[in-house]
Structure 1
Amino acid sequence: MTKSLYVRTVLIFIAAVMISLIMAFILAIHMYSSNVKSMAEGQMIALGKKMISGMNEAPPSSLPNIIRNIVDLPGTRVKILDENGKTIAYGDGGSGKETPILQKQLALVIQGGVYRGKVAYNKEHSGPPSFLIGLPFQMEGKPYALYISPEINKLLDEFRKFTLTVLTSVLITGSLLILLAARYIVKPVQRLTEAAKRMAKGDFGIVLQSRRRDELGALTAGFNEMARSLRMLDKLRSDFVNNVAHEIQSPLTSITGFSKALRTKQMSEEERRQYLTIIEEESQRLSRLSTNLLQLSVLQQNSKLHHPAYLRLDEQLRRSIIASEPQWSAKGIQPELELEAVTAYGDADSLEQVWHNLINNSIKFSPAGGRIEITMSREDGFAIVGITDYGHGIEPDELPHIFTPFYKADKSRDYAVKGNGLGLSIVKEIVDMHRGTIEAKSRPGVQTVFTVRIPVQPVEEIV
């Protein structure tokens, strides 16, 4: 039962309220007692002076009656003693208890002092703690002592009962409000728990509604964002599987069909060679696909550079252009280079694959007799490489997706242009691994520019 967040929240709140109310009760009693004692002392001294004045002004014949009336005061014990400690008059204020006076208390007052203190009970006299006021006065030339002890304990008891009643009412009311407030707090958490269970079963289409602006509202918004990301990942996974199946199925169908034809169909030597060439090309495409898939998986799982070192990027780009000469020579393309000598920090093999993929893409999508431009400069601690071709370009709505695995701007998947939609994905992973950036800009029918930024120093030194 106590494992429930709702129960724990309620118990913690009630415990906090109870501790606060107990402390408030103790503090209120203490403050009230101090204030009452201070006020009562002043009032008792003023009352005692009035009693003494009344006795001094009374004629001798009516003095006994005056004294009896003085000591017979409800709620206040009054006692008059002579210098020998003999009780002249006493009134118990309706309490039925006598106020004991010690010798030292009597001596102080008889000598003209004012006594302020507590009643000193002994074995014969007992009672709750109460304070005592002693005043000296003269009557018929003899010293006397007037002691007044108010029954303030009754007042304090009443105040305690009243305070306890109020605080108990506050506790009950607060507990009921806490039960409602805790449900208001815990209910979104319960909704999140149920949604998490549904998500664990594969339901990523969950959207929780919340108008709260507190931490729970932020948690709900974070959950919705997580659900949205998981929906996207699930869609990417599904698309990835479909794309892999499509990329594999097409060459397998070709290989199967032409293999059957070779086995069952009568054909010339030239046709047989043509069929074998197609089977070889489709097999090579399957091999490239598996190699690229494996490389993409490795790059996504391990983002560390394998063999980092300083290298001359301009020389590496020149080697890549030379290595691609058969492709651009066949289409009559003349590369234009403007390379600044830049030394950067990275993995030579990985970066060489970046330039190879980007340059080959530029050659593929450039018209015969066209041109490509390759530039490099250094700016703000980065080597900036630009590769531009003047082919048919990329549509604006396709630009955000070109780095997605298996994405092809050619919706018909024309295999005249060899590729499986993984090249730019691999390029993006390698550039990210170097803590760099890559972006593409295109004007359809005019040009396409890929810009790569690679740090010239290790990331640790840049930071």
Structure 2
Amino acid sequence: MIARRSLKFPITLGVVLIVLVVLLTSGWIVLAVMASFNSPVKAVYWTLLAVGSVLFAIVLVGVVMYLTLSIKAINLTRRQSNFMDSVSHELKSPIASLKLYLQTLTMRQLSADEQQAFFRFMLDDVARLDDLINHLLDAARLDRPEESEPAQWLSVQEVLRNCISDVNTRYRLEPRCILLEGEDGEVRARNLELEMIFRNLIDNAVKYGGKEPLVEIHTCWLGGSKPTLVIRVADNGPGIPMRQRRKIFRRFERLGVELERTKPGTGLGLYIVGTLVKRLRGNVRVLGRAGEQGTVFEVALPARDPSADDSAVNPARGD
């Protein structure tokens, strides 16, 4: 399948073709120049040489562009194949688990405690399916943004606290596992968009954190001409290699081989984050933790000037 094919072949083929075109054209130019010295119509030779050189440059640019687009298409097909593998696995696993629990409940007499344990496991599987469906719907919603909910000034700390509460409940974490500190600020956005950004980042930090996850969230103001609020989400996981940090915001992008992964996911979470942050005219980047193991996601969003709010609440009084 093309999705599994290495990029080595198309890259090698493209380079060989480009080298052959350059060599053949260079030879043609040398022969044309040599022939022009003995020709009574030198002007025609030089005109043809100029036109041929321009056409050669156009062909060379076209070959390079075609090679680039082909590589991008192969990469996209590979990511889509990984996405289908992931979704198939994410759908089959909880459904198979639910089926097993239901069969056990119908075929065996269980104590009340055992039944309650089974119900909890089944609810976890339903929550996993619900999370998968929400990710797919969120990604589809990015292409058709809902305008029914107007943008408004939202407290970043309040939205973060709501997202932390949701993630703690989902993973049954102790409150000390996700820490929030720093300054508050207001960002103009739709509540759903801001929640999608922070929930995906916190969820990723827990999912790919250490065996005992520790997520540290810090908010602060960035100095400059425009008021900007910076939100940093740090985890204690293995980290992301430098060469792969730019790739993780692509649609369907996941690191490694899909069928060998142990963490659930679709490759849409960070794509949603990157798209929504750009829509809010902010930026997001990935950093390592200085002297520590883990990854830091840093989101910078334009925010309401806190000094303007203070002056509006406490206007200066004249004598």
TM-score above 0.5, yes or no = yes
Q: Give 5+ residue unaligned stretches, structure 1.
A: 1-168, 186-211, 458-463
Matched, 1:394 2:244: no
**Aligned-partner Cα distance in 1 for 2:87–2:166:** 29
Q: 1:22-71: per-residue Cα shift (whole Å, max 9, x none)?
A: xxxxxxxxxxxxxxxxxxxxxxxxxxxxxxxxxxxxxxxxxxxxxxxxxx
Q: 1:410-450: per-residue Cα shift (whole Å, max 9, x none)?
A: 986556xx766543332222212223221222349634311
Match of 1:297 among 140, 145, 150: 140
Aligned-residue CA RMSD (Å): 4.1
**Aligned-partner Cα distance in 1 for 2:154–2:249:** 26
Change (3 A) 1:236 1:414: closer
Aligned pairs for 1:40-439 within 5 A: 214-299=57-142, 301-302=143-144, 307-317=150-160, 320=163, 330=174, 332-333=176-177, 335-339=179-183, 341-362=184-205, 365=209, 372-380=216-224, 381=226, 382-389=228-235, 391-396=236-241, 399-403=245-249, 405=252, 407=254, 413-414=261-262, 422-439=268-285
Q: 1:206-230: per-residue Cα shift (whole Å, max 9, x none)?
A: xxxxxx8512211221111111111
Of structures 1 and 2, the one with the larger relative CO (CA 8 A, separation 6+) is 2
SS in 2 for 1:335: strand
Q: 1:330-355: per-residue Cα shift (whole Å, max 9, x none)?
A: 2534725121x544333232113322
Change (3 A) 1:288 1:406: farther
Q: 1:78-99: per-residue Cα shift (whole Å, max 9, x none)?
A: xxxxxxxxxxxxxxxxxxxxxx
Give yes or no for contact 1:331–1:369 (8 Å, CA) kept in 2: no
Aligned to 1:37: none
Q: 1:292-317: per-residue Cα shift (whole Å, max 9, x none)?
A: 11111221x24687633444435544
Change (3 A) 1:246 1:219: same
**Aligned-partner Cα distance in 1 for 2:111–2:296:** 47
Change (3 A) 1:302 1:328: same
Identity among equivalent positions (%) equals: 22
Match of 1:442 among 288, 298, 306: 288
Moved more, 240-249 or 375-384: 375-384
Q: 1:351-384: per-residue Cα shift (whole Å, max 9, x none)?
A: 1332233334445636759562412213443332
SS in 2 for 1:332: helix
Give yes or no for contact 1:362–1:372 (8 Å, CA) kept in 2: no
Q: Give 5+ residue unaligned stretches, structure 2.
A: 1-39, 305-319
How many pairs were matched up? 254
**Aligned-partner Cα distance in 1 for 2:80–2:90:** 15
Aligned pairs for 1:445-456 within 5 A: 446-456=293-303
SS in 1 for 2:176: coil
Amino acid at match of 2:287: K
Give yes or no for contact 2:206–2:213 (8 Å, CA) kept in 1: no
**Aligned-partner Cα distance in 1 for 2:138–2:178:** 31
Aligned to 1:39: none
Q: 1:8-28: per-residue Cα shift (whole Å, max 9, x none)?
A: xxxxxxxxxxxxxxxxxxxxx
TM score, norm. by length of structure 2: 0.62
Change (3 A) 1:334 1:221: closer
Change (3 A) 1:226 1:454: same
Aligned to 2:24: none
**Aligned-partner Cα distance in 2 for 1:269–1:406:** 44
Task: Please identify the structure whose Cα radius of gyration is greater.
Answer: 1
Cα offset for 1:407?
2.9
Change (3 A) 1:233 1:322: closer
Give yes or no for contact 2:210–2:237 (8 Å, CA) kept in 1: yes
**Aligned-partner Cα distance in 1 for 2:286–2:67:** 31
Change (3 A) 1:448 1:282: same
Give yes or no for contact 1:332–1:369 (8 Å, CA) kept in 2: no
Give yes or no for contact 2:210–2:238 (8 Å, CA) kept in 1: no
Q: Which has the larger share of strand?
A: 1
Give yes or no for contact 2:282–2:299 (8 Å, CA) kept in 1: yes
Give yes or no for contact 2:284–2:299 (8 Å, CA) kept in 1: yes
